[in-house]
Amino acid sequence: RKEVEQDPGPFNVPEGATVAFNCTYSNSASQSFFWYRQDCRKEPKLLMSVYSSGNEDGRFTAQLNRASQYISLLIRDSKLSDSATYLCVVYILTGGGNKLTFGTGTQLKVEL
């Protein structure tokens, strides 16, 4: 089983739509959670951290359910510029050091 699982998509949505991505993680020792965004042929960039109480940043809302080991990202009023791959990321601190473990990403295409 992969450590972080996401639906690869692509999700094709019209501009203005609301879209949600889900992610599950297998390691219950995971301590921090993030959504990263990766544009084609570019590096991943931090979109937002995910907090247990849920958090919002403009049109983006992230939720975490530790009991179910589940993370979500909701994008409202999609823009063409939101087209990218969204990476679900978990942070684990172990005796061997900390690392971010990435999901394979969910591709979003926002269309006119």
Partner 1 sequence: DTAVSQTPKYLVTQMGNDKSIKCEQNLGHDTMYWYKQDSKKFLKIMFSYNNKELIINETVPNRFSPKSPDKAHLNLHINSLELGDSAVYFCASSYRGGSYGYTFGSGTRLTVV
Vertex 12, ends 18 and 63: CA angle to 5°? 40
- The CB-of-51 to partner 1 minimum distance in angstroms stands at 12
Q: Is 60 in the site for partner 1 (CB under 8 A)?
A: no
Cβ of 7: how many Cβ atoms within 10 Å? 14
Q: Which of residues 1-40 bind partner 1 (CB under 8 A)?
A: 31-32, 34, 36
Helices (H) and strands (E) in the chain, counts: 0, 11
Alpha helices in 15-108 (DSSP H): none
State yes or no: residue 44 binds partner 1 (CB under 8 A). Answer: yes
Selected range binding partner 1 among 13-21, 58-66, 72-80, 86-94, rule: CB under 8 A: 86-94
Nearest approach, Cβ of 73 to partner 1 (angstroms)? 15
Nearer to partner 1, 50 or 75 (CB): 50
Of residues 87, 90, 108, 110, which one binds partner 1 by CB under 8 A?
87
Cβ nearer to partner 1, comparing 42 with 59: 42
CB 70 within 8 A of CB 7: no
Distances (CA, A) of 9 to 40, 54, 60, 73: 15, 24, 19, 14
